[in-house]
Amino acid sequence: MKFIKTNWIGIAVCLLVAVPSWFLGKLLPTVGGPVFSIVIGMLIALVWKEKGRADSGIKFTSKYILQSAVVLLGFGLNLNVIAKTGVQSLPIILCTITTSLLLAFVMQKVLRTSGNTATLVGVGSSICGGSAIAATAPVIKANDDEVAQAISVIFFYNVIAAILFPIFGHAIGMSTTTGEAFGIFAGTAVNDTSSVTAAASTWDSMWKLGTQTLDKAVTVKLTRTLAIIPITLVLALLTARKEKLAGTASENTFSFKRAFPMFILWFILMSVITTVAVRFGVPIAFFNPLKELSKFFIIIAMGAIGLNSNIIKLIKTGEKPLLIGAVCWVGITSVSLVMQRVMGLW
């Protein structure tokens, strides 16, 4: 009862932001509901500076609803399908993720910008956009401004990729008789699911390939999503070590239990449940409502993050994160193409 009394106003406000953002995202999927939600939240925050009784619920939403969204994301992963069809793309995925994280680290040092923002941009660019940022932010203890900045950068390059990649793929001579090459390219070089879907569907439409490209791209994308697990675990360990060295850890001794992001364990469990259920004949479509709920939870959480963000500050400090994002994006695209060429995929 106390929880409801303390948090209901803030949660209700986040829902009021999320509902129209959900529908706007359906109308403009290339932009996506999370981006609309975070922008609407930031615009409201310009005039609503003192949150009062809503503050607690907004903070709860930005943290725990966000983690719940990641847990529910596990229901979209059938590990058997990924094992069968995602292995081909695994070397490319490993190389692109490594490249993005290294470039983000180097650029953060060169530009002397926020380490958390650079990490979120690197992870978001290389794994799965907003979902990866949602999973990583609580692990590295990123604040709402850093999350909002990273989401904005990811969105910007998402839109560019969705529009330009089909044209670019044709220009460099990717096969137009099969969706395999471009599907792998879109699945490894475009970061957010909505933009992967948009780019792959465009390629299918351009060359009348049915859903060949889309099926390939989505499978590759799901394989990339699994990288959330080791990446967040490693970041959790590094964060705990950093806090210990800085003397800010809650205890003097390192605790694996404290360092491990428990919501990622639930994410793994949901993936296993999905895999086992499908193995015993449950149609994958059965889990679609939970996947949709995961997306809606992300939209709610992005609204909360927007409400806690300073848009003026984001604009003033946006050049460096955009540059980090550009370097990561070009690096991922280049590595994906080189690896595909080396592997004889196009």
Q: Distance between CA atoms of 212 and 204, rounded to whole angstroms?
A: 7
Distances in Å between the Cα of 105 and the Cα atoms of 101, 114, 286, 326, 331 are 6, 10, 40, 14, 13
Q: Which residue has the higher pLDDT, 192 or 250?
A: 192
| HSE-CB for 192 with a 13 A CA cutoff | 31
- The average pLDDT across 126-131 equals 84
CA distances to 131, 146, 181, 215, 337 from 233, rounded to whole Å, are 15, 20, 32, 29, 29
Tell me what the mean pLDDT of segment 116-133 comes to: 91
Domain count, the chain: 1
User: Quick one: average pLDDT of 272-285?
Assistant: 91
Look up residue 87 and give its DSSP letter. G
pLDDT score of 281: 92
Burial class (CB in 10 A: 0-12, 13-18, 19+), 322: middle
Under 8 Å CB-to-CB from 162, ≥6 apart: which residues? 30, 190, 194, 195, 198, 199, 202
Token pair listed for 259: 């360092």
Contact 151, 130 (CB under 8 A): yes
pLDDT at position 252: 44
Weakest-pLDDT range from 7-16, 45-54, 56-65, 66-75: 66-75
Q: Which residue has the higher pLDDT, 171 or 81?
A: 171
Query: In terms of pLDDT, which residue wins out, 289 or 256?
Result: 289
Mean pLDDT of the residues in the chain: 86
Cα of 184 vs its chain's centroid, Å: 18
pLDDT at 255: 54
Q: Are 324 and 122 in contact (CB under 8 A)?
A: yes
Residues 6+ apart with CB under 8 A from 332: 96, 99, 100, 125, 126, 188, 189, 191
Mean pLDDT confidence for 302-315: 81
The domain of 199 spans 2-342
